Amino acid sequence: MLSNLSRYLTYACAILYAVLGALLFFLPESLASGFAWKVTPFMTMTIGAWCLGNAWLAYVSARRWDWQLVSTSLLYLWLFGITECVVLLLFRSKLVLSEFTGWMYFFTLGVNLITAVVGIADWLRLKPTLRAEEPQLAGLIKILPIGAVLFTGSIGLFGLLVPLGFMGTNNKEIFPEVMTSFTLRAFASFYFSLAMAVIPLLKYPNLRLFMNHLYGASGFLLTVTAAAFAYIGLFDFAAHPVQLVYIGAYVVVAIMVGFALLKYGTGLTIK
What per-residue string of b and e applies to 15-25 under the rule 16 or more CB within 10 Å gives b?
Answer: ebbbebbebbb
pLDDT score of 142 more than 80: no
Q: What percent of the chain shows pLDDT beyond 70?
A: 97
User: Closest Cα partner for 212 from 38, 66, 8?
Assistant: 66
* 79/157: higher pLDDT: 79
The secondary structure of residue 96, as a DSSP letter, is -
Those residues whose C-beta lies under 8 Å from the C-beta of residue 51, and which sit 6 or more positions away, are 17, 18, 20, 21, 24, 25, 108
Q: Check residue 169 and give its pLDDT.
A: 62
pTM, rounded to two decimals: 0.94
The residues pairing with 136 across neighbouring beta strands, listed in sequence order, are 206
Q: Under a CB-based contact definition with an 8 Å cutoff, are residues 156 and 189 in contact?
A: yes
Instruction: Give me the helices (H) in 95-134, please.
Output: 100-126
The secondary structure of residue 239, as a DSSP letter, is T
pLDDT bin (cut points 50, 70, 90) of residue 106 is very high
pLDDT bin (cut points 50, 70, 90) of residue 140 is low
pLDDT score of 97 more than 90: yes
Q: Check residue 167 and give its pLDDT.
A: 65
Residue by residue, what is the 3-state secondary structure of 245-261?
HHHHHHHHHHHHHHHHH
Query: What mean pLDDT is predicted for residues 34-49?
Result: 97
> pLDDT tens digit string along 108-123?
999 999 999 999 999 9
Query: What mean pLDDT is predicted for residues 232-254?
Result: 92
